[in-house]
């Protein structure tokens, strides 16, 4: 069988390849379109057909029972030159199909109608079609249905292609931002090493960790294949190594985190909270060379939410100084940014805080659970102008 159409076979195959759809599993989004057009047109068969180099391949099909046929048996290729729905009322009486081997015999295809699928630049690459084993004629409504649903197929494919391009661009941005931030962090570390005053070194080290934590986030986003979702266990492990590098002699940092997916915004806020807590513990919790442990533990809570516990076994805090420092204001703001409940459970020794928040993989609302209620009940409260804050935030 021979055919001709405006776009070359090379352009058609290139368009199909760009969509990345060939030889992919069946998908409900396309199956439903094929089922709907078959039902409305009252035909036993329908297909979303892509015309490849040597074959026609069906992304979706109803009643055909195969996923591809040789191009020599394709009726769909006759539609590629058409600007509207092509209808062959009797395939044995039409010169475009009478020689097709599928149109003769006991199970012959005697009716065909299809609307061309085109790229935004106008390259035809396939059809949405219906078929029957007996001659027939479509109604105006049925012809309109094929036309409209064919446009829905191309819109679905175009949207997926646009999202793929956006993902590639986002990965490139994450890669470049990560490299830029790592350069800035290296410069800050260099300046910190040259600083003469202890206070200056501490400030530069804190800023350097914040920048490095954001660089790590972009590294995770670049390595991930789930868009703006961050694997929290991998991210926290890398943050732990970053923080541990600046631990005082005799102080050990432990990081354990279960698997969870969070948004990039949540990951950024959580890194800021961990940075403030760890820096505060390193600076104040272990005076005079005291040894100890700072821990960051992330685990799934009983109610499906995620809990992160930050603790140290140092000298503890003065409740009278609650909530006065810049670090505490950063923690409060970051907790609000990530949609987390923040509490400070009472401890016999040391200092700790608990964050409870929803994750992307399990996204319930964050209720005040019995565990959180107990944490808040045990937390010491401070009076700020007569108002009792919902979450008390002691700081050093």
> Could you report the per-residue pLDDT of 289-309, keeping only the tens digit for each?
899 999 999 999 877 789 999
246 and 390 inside one domain: yes
305 and 392 inside one domain: yes
Tell me if 96 is assigned to some domain: yes
Tell me if 100 is assigned to some domain: yes
Residue 165 makes CB contacts below 8 A (sequence gap 6+) with none
271 and 378 inside one domain: yes
235 and 381 inside one domain: yes
141 and 240 inside one domain: no
Write out the H or E segment, with its range, that includes residue 245.
none
Q: Pick the last residue of a domain from 161, 176, 191.
A: 161
42 and 150 inside one domain: yes
Please give the average per-residue pLDDT across 344-364, as a whole number.
80
234 and 152 inside one domain: no
Tell me if 179 is assigned to some domain: no
pLDDT higher than 90, residue 359: no
Tell me if 206 is assigned to some domain: no
Write out the H or E segment, with its range, that includes residue 275.
helix 264-284
Instruction: Give the pLDDT score at 309.
Output: 94
Q: Pick the last residue of a domain from 161, 186, 213.
A: 161
Tell me how far the alpha carbon of residue 378 is from its chain's centroid.
38
235 and 152 inside one domain: no
Q: Pick the last residue of a domain from 126, 142, 161.
A: 161
234 and 156 inside one domain: no
Tell me if 17 is assigned to some domain: yes
Number of domains within the chain: 2
Among residues 217, 281, 269, which one has the least CA distance to residue 243?
281
Q: Give the residue numbers spanning the domain of 277.
A: 230-396
Q: How far is CA 104 from CA 76, 131, 134, 174, 365, in A?
A: 17, 14, 11, 58, 61
Tell me if 88 is assigned to some domain: yes
At 119-141, the pLDDT tens digits run 999 999 999 999 999 999 999 99
Task: Fill in the DSSP letter of residue 255.
Answer: E
The CB density around residue 100, as the number of other CB atoms within 10 Å, is 20
At 259-286, the pLDDT tens digits run 998 888 888 889 889 988 998 898 889 9
Residue 385 makes CB contacts below 8 A (sequence gap 6+) with none
Residue 17, domain CATH: 3.30.450.40
At 46-90, the pLDDT tens digits run 999 999 989 999 999 999 999 999 998 999 998 888 889 999 999
Tell me if 182 is assigned to some domain: no
Q: How far is CA 339 from CA 234, 239, 298, 370, in A?
A: 21, 21, 16, 18
Q: How far apart are CA 146 and CA 143, in angstroms?
A: 5
133 and 245 inside one domain: no
Instruction: Give the pLDDT score at 86.
Output: 95
Tell me if 180 is assigned to some domain: no
At 2-52, the pLDDT tens digits run 344 444 788 899 999 999 999 999 999 999 999 999 999 999 999 999 999
Instruction: Give the pLDDT score at 182.
Output: 67
Instruction: Give the pLDDT score at 395.
Output: 37
Residue 272, domain CATH: 3.30.565.10
């Amino acid at each position: 069988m021979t055919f001709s159409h405006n776009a070359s076979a090379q352009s058609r195959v290139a368009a199909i390849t760009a969509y990345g759809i060939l030889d992919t599993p069946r998908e409900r989004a396309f199956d439903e379109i094929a089922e709907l057009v078959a039902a409305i047109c009252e035909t036993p068969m329908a297909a979303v057909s892509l015309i490849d180099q040597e074959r026609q391949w069906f992304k979706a099909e109803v009643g055909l029972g195969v996923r591809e046929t040789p191009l020599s048996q394709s009726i769909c290729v006759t539609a590629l030159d058409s600007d509207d729905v092509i209808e062959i009322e009797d395939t044995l009486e039409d010169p475009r199909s009478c020689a097709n081997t599928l149109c003769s015999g006991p199970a012959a295809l005697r009716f065909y109608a299809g609307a061309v699928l085109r790229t935004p630049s106008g390259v035809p690459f396939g059809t949405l079609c219906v078929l029957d084993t007996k001659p027939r004629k479509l109604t105006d409504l049925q012809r309109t249905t094929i036309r409209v649903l064919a446009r829905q197929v191309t819109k679905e494919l175009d949207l997926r292609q646009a999202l793929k391009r956006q993902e590639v661009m986002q990965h490139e941005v994450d890669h470049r931002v990560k490299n830029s931030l790592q350069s800035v962090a290296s410069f800050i570390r260099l300046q910190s090493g040259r600083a003469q005053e202890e206070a200056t070194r501490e400030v530069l080290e804190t800023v350097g960790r914040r920048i490095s934590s954001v660089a790590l986030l972009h590294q995770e986003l670049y390595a991930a294949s789930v868009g703006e979702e961050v694997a929290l266990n991998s991210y926290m492990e890398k943050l732990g190594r970053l923080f541990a590098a600046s631990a005082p002699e005799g102080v050990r940092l432990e990081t354990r985190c279960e698997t969870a997916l969070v948004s990039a915004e949540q990951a950024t806020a959580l890194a800021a909270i961990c940075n403030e807590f760890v820096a505060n513990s390193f600076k104040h919790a272990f005076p005079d060379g005291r040894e100890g442990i700072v821990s960051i533990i992330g685990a799934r809570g009983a109610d499906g939410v995620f809990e992160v516990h930050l603790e140290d076994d140092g000298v503890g805090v003065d409740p009278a100084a609650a909530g006065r420092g810049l670090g505490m204001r950063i923690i409060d703001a970051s907790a609000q940014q990530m949609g987390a409940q923040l509490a400070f459970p009472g401890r016999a020794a040391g200092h700790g805080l608990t964050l409870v928040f929803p994750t992307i993989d399990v996204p319930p609302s964050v209720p005040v659970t019995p565990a959180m209620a107990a944490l808040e009940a045990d937390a010491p409260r401070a009076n700020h102008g007569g108002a009792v804050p919902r979450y008390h935030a002691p700081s050093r």
